[in-house]
Amino acid sequence: MKSLFFNALKFMESISYLRIERDVDKVEEASSILRLIDNSVENELFLILNIYPSDYFEVESKVIFNKLLNFSHKSNDIFLTYYMDIREKDDEFDIKLTSLRIIVSAYLKLVLNSPYYMSISIEMSKNYLFDIEVYILKDMLAMGYHSIPRFRYYNKIEKKMHYVDEMPIREQIDKLTISRLIIPKLTKISLEEQELLQRYSNVWWNKYCEFINTFYYDIRHLFEFYQGVCFKFVVCKSTIESNYVDTKSGLVLHEIKSASNDGLSVEIDNQVYDIYFLDFDDTHSVLATLGYTKKTIAENKIKDIEQSVEIYVNNELLDIIRSNDNANFFDSLTDIVLGLHGYNKYKFDSFYIKRDLVSDEPAKIEVIKYAKNHDVDKEEIQLSMERYSRSKFIFVHEGLFLPSLKKEFSTNSDILLLDSGDLFRKLKYMLNESILSMSIFNDFIKPVISTLQLDSDKVKILKVSESLIYDIQNCPTGIENWKKYEDVCYRAIRFLFEDGFACFQLEYQISNDIRTDKRDLILQNSGYHDFWKDMKLIYKSNNIVIEFKNYSDSIDNDAFRQISDYLEKDVYGQFGMIFTRKDLNSHSRRKQIDYLLNRNKKLILVISDVNLIDMIALKSEGESPENILMKLKFSLETSV
pLDDT confidence of residue 349: 59
**Distances, alpha carbon 429 to alpha carbons 40, 277, 322, 426, 433, in Å:** 8, 19, 15, 5, 6
What span, in angstroms and rounded, lies between the C-alpha atoms of 68 and 1?
24
Q: Count Cβ atoms below 10 Å from residue 113 Cβ, excluding itself.
A: 12
Query: For 489-513, how does the pLDDT look when each residue is reduced to its tens digit (9 = 90+)?
Result: 999 999 999 889 988 888 876 554 4
Nearest to 253 by CA among 184, 209, 311, 201: 201
Strand pairing class (506-511; 518-524): antiparallel
Report the side by side order of strands in the sheet with 263-273.
263-273, 228-237, 251-259, 287-290
- Where do the H-state alpha helices sit in 22-91? 24-30, 39-49, 55-58, 61-74, 80-89
Classify the C-alpha dihedral 95-100-101-102 as positive or negative.
positive
pLDDT confidence of residue 285: 39
Cβ contacts of residue 19 below 8 Å, gap of 6+? 94, 97, 139, 142, 143
Query: For 240-280, how does the pLDDT look when each residue is reduced to its tens digit (9 = 90+)?
Result: 444 444 445 555 566 677 777 778 888 877 665 554 333 33
Q: Which residue has the higher pLDDT, 606 or 251?
A: 606
Please state the separation of Cα 138 from the chain's center in Å: 30
- % of the chain residues with pLDDT over 70: 76
pLDDT confidence of residue 577: 92
Strand pairing class (287-290; 251-259): antiparallel
**Distances, alpha carbon 238 to alpha carbons 6, 115, 533, in Å:** 18, 9, 64
Query: For 526-550, how does the pLDDT look when each residue is reduced to its tens digit (9 = 90+)?
Result: 999 999 999 999 988 888 899 999 9
Nearest to 367 by CA among 399, 336, 335: 335
pLDDT confidence of residue 355: 61
What span, in angstroms and rounded, lies between the C-alpha atoms of 248 and 387?
57
Mean pLDDT (the chain, rounded)? 78
347-356, 419-428, 467-476, range with greatest mean pLDDT: 467-476
Report yes or no: 173 and 134 within 8 Å, Cβ to Cβ.
Answer: yes
Q: DSSP letter string over 148-169? A: EPPEEEEETTTTEEEEE--EEH
